[in-house]
Structure 1
């Protein structure tokens, strides 16, 4: 049983594809550099990142696959499911081995797996877009374009899959005139938009800003609590108690998002 060690990056995975064709050997498992090899592994190969190899495989993939298929591969990679990297690896190898397109060959287990996983990730992406709620807070991050302490719209998410990179363009277009930040509490990273560009951000003291998956009230802007109260009263006034259907609400809006939505505090 052959195992490839690589740095667990997508770029490193494409280098592993290059090495597999170069050595004419296909690994049965892909391991992180520091990961302990399984009991049945009899041979190993360490893949070093090489930009030339990465670019060669990347350009070849662009020529061989449609934009939809390329997007599906990225979705599978961001799913972070067990052996998702191995599924992507085998799919790419089959693309290069086949003289015809394999994108719709759903009899192949890897093609079907890529399609199914990508569909789940895409659904999660849409849910995040739908259910993200921003709270106005006093900007805890020093803005390189403005030294003043100003207001920023901050949101906390914890999606099943790592879909945060997939929603950034939507929010940049939707809120182009506002400073905002979205933080993935589950993976402990986020992005901030400063009216000029989107940059990755991490919180040095997450427990101070976020308490029980909610923004610490001490950081809320002066009028944010008032707006949230007004919004709750508005939702309460529109609600017809006789028509409340929690089962239907859970079907349309998974309950794991409820604690992130101010309007759902009435249901909690």
Structure 2
């Protein structure tokens, strides 16, 4: 079997689809260069990124799929799951090789895989929007660090830009080493040096606003005052707010 190697980029994935239709090599396995383990039996084809080829494939998918399925496609890519890359490749070939509307065939394993993976990514996106808590720095910027299961920063951008239009903020993904910075006009992608990342995760008192601890205590007091001990249901609470998200919540952190 031929193995198509891509560089994990969205452009590389689309170029792999283009190359398959141009070469017609038969069944292939799509893998990223990071996950590939060389063997003596597979033919290797390195997919080189080409903006024009990727653009043709993307426009073709947009012409054949609804906006909802285009979003599912993109969300599946953001899952960063190596198996999902192959599912996206096979799904694309399936869409181009059949009549319009075949994406409704959930009997196809790749259609089902996209729907299931996209649902997980969307769930993570909603949780990040709900559970992110900003801290106020001494220079007036609100910031937070996150390490979500999936690469959801592109999906939560518009939510925070529309909701916090009157303040500067930074949301930084420490797992993927990049973040978003809003300067009251535009949102820009940023990357910090390792030392700056560490400082952002565990800021010194001098880094924080003088009133940050006060704000945190006020929020914790409000949370405690609205809590009804007699109706405490830990199992249901953990179901809606999994423990891995507690590190983001001011009301769960002792000051």
Give the TM-score normalised by the residue count of structure 2.
0.93
Residue 216 of structure 1 and its aligned partner are, at CA, apart by 4.1
Ranges in structure 1 where 5+ consecutive residues have no aligned partner: 139-149
Aligned pairs for 1:1-268 (under 5 A) are: 1-26=1-26, 28-33=28-33, 36-39=36-39, 41-138=41-138, 150-204=139-193, 205=195, 206-211=197-202, 215-265=203-253
Distance 1:94 1:86 in 2: 12
1:2–1:41 Cα contact (<8 Å) kept: no
1:3–1:41 Cα contact (<8 Å) kept: no
Cα deviation per residue 1:87-143 (whole Å; 9 max; x = unaligned)?
Answer: 0000001000002322210000000010111111111111111111111113xxxxx
Residue 15 of structure 1 and its aligned partner are, at CA, apart by 0.9
Ranges in structure 2 where 5+ consecutive residues have no aligned partner: none
Q: Report which of the two has the higher share of helix.
A: 2
Distance 2:189 2:86 in 1: 27
Question: Secondary structure of 1:199's partner?
Answer: strand
Distance 2:165 2:67 in 1: 26
Which of structure 1's runs of 4+ aligned residues deviate more than 4 A?
Answer: 33-36
Moved more, 17-26 or 85-94: 17-26
Distance 1:197 1:21 in 2: 39
Residue 249 of structure 1 and its aligned partner are, at CA, apart by 0.8
Residue correspondences, number: 253
2:84–2:113 Cα contact (<8 Å) kept: no
Distance 2:210 2:34 in 1: 48
2:35–2:82 Cα contact (<8 Å) kept: no
Taking a change above 3 Å as real, the CA distance of residues 2 and 183 of structure 1, as seen in their structure-2 partners, is: same
Distance 1:256 1:94 in 2: 37
Give the TM-score normalised by the residue count of structure 1.
0.88
Q: CA RMSD in A?
A: 1.9
Residue 58 of structure 1 and its aligned partner are, at CA, apart by 1.3
